[in-house]
Structure 1
Amino acid sequence: MKAAVYYGPNKVEIDDVAEPDPRPGTVKLKVGFNGICGTDLHEYYAGPIFIPTQPHPLTGAELPLTIGHEFSGTITAVGDGVTGWAEGDRVAVEPIYKCDHCGPCRAGNYNVCQQIGFHGLMSDGGMAEYTVVPTSMLHKLPGNVSLELGALVEPMSVAYHAATLGDVHPGDTAMVFGAGPIGIGLWFALRGKGLDDVLVVEPSPTRRAAIEALGAKTLDPAALDVPGFIAEHTGGNGADAVFDAAGLTPAVATALACVGSRKPTISVAIYEKSLETPLLNLVMNESRIQGSLCYTGADFDAVIALMADGKYDTTGWVTRIPIDDVVDEGFEALHAGTKMKVLVDPNGES
C-alpha cells in the first residue's frame, strides 16, 4: 500500500509498504482523509522534533515512520477481543498514546501525559491507505458527518479544548488571534458555545477573507488600533477571553493589551522562538496566561456533536489532494501560504 514515510528533514517519500493487520484490541482502518498539521510542517522543515530517533517508551517506534495523526476512516477488520466495533463503522481517531500511571493521567488529564505519544508521530500513522489503531482511540461518526469532516475532528478538538479553558459564556466577548486552521476552529468552537461576539485578529488579507466568508468578524491589526477598538467595544472592560493561535510576539503583546481584568489569555500556538512578553498588563489587570495542549475524548465528542448539528463548514479553507502530491501540493503549498488546510486522500475516495 502507499504511505507517506518520514525519513528526516525535507524527506517525506511515498513508499510502497506492507499493509498492516489488526492486533488484539485494535482495528484496521481504511483511511478516509488525513490532514497535514502544523506539527507535520515543523517536522518536515526542522525535524525530527517530536518524531523519535530511538524507540518511544510507549510505542517502541522510531523513524523512519509513516506520518499522519489527523484522520478519519472506515473499519475493515477487527482484532481479537474487540467488542462494540464492527466492519463498516466510520470513525474519527483521537491519536493519543498515554501511560495511564503518571500524575496527569491519574487525574484524568491524559492530554499532558508525561510520556505522551501520538499515532502518526510516535508510531506509523494515517497518511496511508490503511492503518491499525487501538479501540481506545475510536470515536464513531454519525451518518451525516462526512469522512472529510471526520479528519478535521482532531484539529477542531485542539481548538475546542482551548475554547473550553477560556471559560466563556453566551454574551461574552472573545478574541482570536490568527485565522489559520486552529483560529478557524476556535471561531467555530466559540460560536458553538453560544458566543455571538467573537472577533478574529488577522493581518493576512487572504486569511481574513477566508474566515469572513464563513461569517466571522475580523480586525486588521495593520489598519486598526486593536486594543483601542476593544476598549471602546467593551465599554472599557476588555475581552472576556483572548486566544492566541498565531504564536508571534506582536500578537501576544496585543492580546495581553486587550484581555479584561482577571480574564484569561489562552495560548494554543506552537512558539518556534522565545517571546518577549509584556507582563506589566497581567500584573495590573490580574489577568493570566493559560496553556492549552491537545484535547480529551470529551472534546472529540463535543466537536462531533457540533458537526452533526451543522456547525462546521469547510468551504474556502480546506483543500483535498491525492497522496502522491503530499510534498508539492501539501507541505510546500502550506509552507508558502498558498493553501490553508490540506487533507490527503490516500485511497482516492474524493
Structure 2
Amino acid sequence: MRAVIRRNKQLVCDQIDELEPGEGQVLVKTLACGICGSDLHALHHMEHMVEVSRRGGGGTMNFDPTADTVFGHEFCAEILDHGPGTTGALKAGARVVSVPATMTAGGVELLGYSNRLPGGFAERMVLTEAMLLPVPNGLPTDAAALTEPFAVGAHAVAKAHLDPNSVAVVIGCGPVGLAVIASLKARGYGPVIAADYSPRRRAAAEALGADVVLDPAKESPHGRWEQLGVPMASAAQKMMRMMGAQFGRPVVFECVGAPGILQNLIESSPAGTQIVVAGVCMETDRIEPAVAITKEVELTFVFGYSPEEFAATLDDIAEGRINVSGLVTGKVGLGEVADAFVALGDPEAHVKILVEPVR
C-alpha cells in the first residue's frame, strides 16, 4: 500500500507492507489525517524531539528516529476488517476516531512515531478495537479528524485554575491556541483575549468565539487586564479584596513555544497569574525566577490529553459546542504531502491541511 514516509529527513511517497490486524485490532482505511505542527518540526528535528521525550520519560523508548516513519496522528478512518479476539461491535464501514496509540504484543505503538506501524499518512492502519470511538451520524469526516488536535486544547483548559469570572489570554492562535479558545468558549469561560500577528489566525480565533482579538504588533494583549477588572499589581489586588471586591483569577495560555515568551509573560501578566504552557519550545530557554516569585506567578506545563478528554472533544464537535467549520483550508493526496508541509510554513496560507490517502 502507499504511504508518505519520513526517510533521511525527507518525505517520500512509496510502497510499504500491507497490514494484518492482530489480537484485539482492526484494519482501517484512512479517510483523512491532519498535518500537525509537531509533524512539521519532526521532519527535520525528530532526533532531538525523541531525545527530549526520553529525558522526560516519554513513550518513545523503542523508537528509532533515524529509521523510516509514517507520520499522522490526527485521523478519521473507516473499519475494513477485524482481527482475532475482537467483538465486532463496530461493523465494517463504520467511521471511527481513536487516540493515536495501538496495543500490540510488543507494547504500545504511538502512531505517527512508530517504526513498526504506520500513522495516518498511509492508506491503511491497524487500531485497537477497544479504543475506537464511532463518529456520530451526520458529523463530516473532516470535522471528526480534528478531534485529536482540539483535545490538546481541552486538556490545557482542564489544567487551568479558572473560576467563573476569570479573564483568559491566549498567546498564539495557531492550531493549539485555536483549540484552547474553542475549549474555553465551549465551557462558558470569558472574556477570552486572543493575540497573534497573523490576520488569518486572528480571523480563525474570532470565528471560534474569542471575545477580544488583538494584533500584538499594534496593541499589547496585557493592556486590557485592568479594563476587564483585574488589577496588575499585587498591592492593588490586596486592596481590592480588603474593600470586599472580587475579580477572576487571570490565566494566560502560552501557545507559541518560542524562547523568550515565558519571561515576557512573567513580567507582563498580573500578579497571581497562572501561565499554562501549551506551546512546545524545543530550545533551552531562560527565565528569572525572582520576578515570578515576587509576583507569585504559577507555571503549569501541559502535554497531550486523556482518553476521557479525547472522547469529550469528539462530543463537543458533534454537538456543535465547538464549531470547526472553515478551519480546514486545504486537502491533499499522498503525492502532495511534501508540498503541503512547505505551505504550512506560512501562517497566512493555511489554518489546517488534511491528507486524504485514498483520493
Residue 40 of structure 1 aligns with which residue?
39
Deviations 1:27-79 (A, max 9, x none): 11111111111111112123334569xxx656799721222111110111111
Would the alpha carbon gap of residues 283 and 269 (structure 1) be closer, same or farther in structure 2, given more than 3 Å must change?
same
What are the equivalent positions in structure 2 for 1:306-325 lying under 5 Å apart?
A: 306-310=316-320, 311-316=322-327, 318-325=329-336
Pairing 1:24–2:35 present: no
Pairing 1:85–2:90 present: yes
What SS class does the counterpart of residue 161 from structure 1 fall into?
helix
Cα distance in 1 for residues equivalent to 2:284 and 2:141? 38
Query: Which letter maps to 1:64?
Result: D
1:210 is displaced (CA, Å) by: 3.0
Given candidates 129, 133, 143, the residue that maps to 1:139 is 133
What are the equivalent positions in structure 2 for 1:236-315 lying under 5 Å apart?
A: 236=231, 240-257=250-267, 259-310=269-320, 311-315=322-326
Cα distance in 1 for residues equivalent to 2:80 and 2:63? 23
Q: Which runs of 5+ in 1 are unaligned?
A: 100-114
Would the alpha carbon gap of residues 316 and 139 (structure 1) be closer, same or farther in structure 2, given more than 3 Å must change?
closer
Pairing 1:66–2:77 present: no
Would the alpha carbon gap of residues 48 and 249 (structure 1) be closer, same or farther in structure 2, given more than 3 Å must change?
closer
Cα distance in 2 for residues equivalent to 1:221 and 1:140? 41
1:145 is displaced (CA, Å) by: 2.2
TM (norm. structure 1) is 0.85
Pairing 1:180–2:171 present: no
Given candidates 205, 214, 218, the residue that maps to 1:223 is 218
Q: Is the 8 A contact 2:182 2:209 kept in 1?
A: no
What SS class does the counterpart of residue 74 from structure 1 fall into?
strand
Residue 80 of structure 2 aligns with which residue?
76
Deviations 1:86-113 (A, max 9, x none): 21222112013689xxxxxxxxxxxxxx
Cα distance in 2 for residues equivalent to 1:171 and 1:98? 42
1:138 is displaced (CA, Å) by: 1.8
Structure 1 vs Structure 2 CA RMSD: 2.6
1:316 is displaced (CA, Å) by: 4.7
The structure with more radius of gyration: 2
What SS class does the counterpart of residue 47 from structure 2 fall into?
coil
Query: Which letter maps to 1:47?
Result: M
What SS class does the counterpart of residue 335 from structure 1 fall into?
coil
What SS class does the counterpart of residue 276 from structure 1 fall into?
coil
Deviates more, 1:312-321 or 1:293-302: 312-321
What SS class does the counterpart of residue 66 from structure 1 fall into?
coil
TM (norm. structure 2) is 0.83
Cα distance in 2 for residues equivalent to 1:48 and 1:276? 23
Cα distance in 2 for residues equivalent to 1:303 and 1:259? 29
Aligned residues: 328
What SS class does the counterpart of residue 4 from structure 1 fall into?
strand
1:339 is displaced (CA, Å) by: 1.9
What SS class does the counterpart of residue 133 from structure 1 fall into?
strand
Deviates more, 1:173-182 or 1:227-236: 227-236
Would the alpha carbon gap of residues 38 and 224 (structure 1) be closer, same or farther in structure 2, given more than 3 Å must change?
same
Q: Percent identity?
A: 27
1:347 is displaced (CA, Å) by: 1.4
Cα distance in 1 for residues equivalent to 2:27 and 2:149? 22
Deviates more, 1:119-128 or 1:205-214: 205-214
1:147 is displaced (CA, Å) by: 1.6
Query: Which letter maps to 1:197?
Result: P
Q: Is the 8 A contact 2:168 2:190 kept in 1?
A: no
Deviates more, 1:189-198 or 1:62-71: 62-71
Residue 355 of structure 2 aligns with which residue?
344
1:292 is displaced (CA, Å) by: 0.6
1:211 is displaced (CA, Å) by: 2.1
Cα distance in 2 for residues equivalent to 1:117 and 1:76? 20
Q: Which runs of 5+ in 2 are unaligned?
A: 52-59, 232-236, 238-247
Dislocated runs of 4+, deviation >6 Å:
59-62
Q: Is the 8 A contact 2:75 2:97 kept in 1?
A: yes
Residue 121 of structure 1 aligns with which residue?
113
Would the alpha carbon gap of residues 309 and 124 (structure 1) be closer, same or farther in structure 2, given more than 3 Å must change?
same
Deviations 1:177-200 (A, max 9, x none): 100011110000011111131111
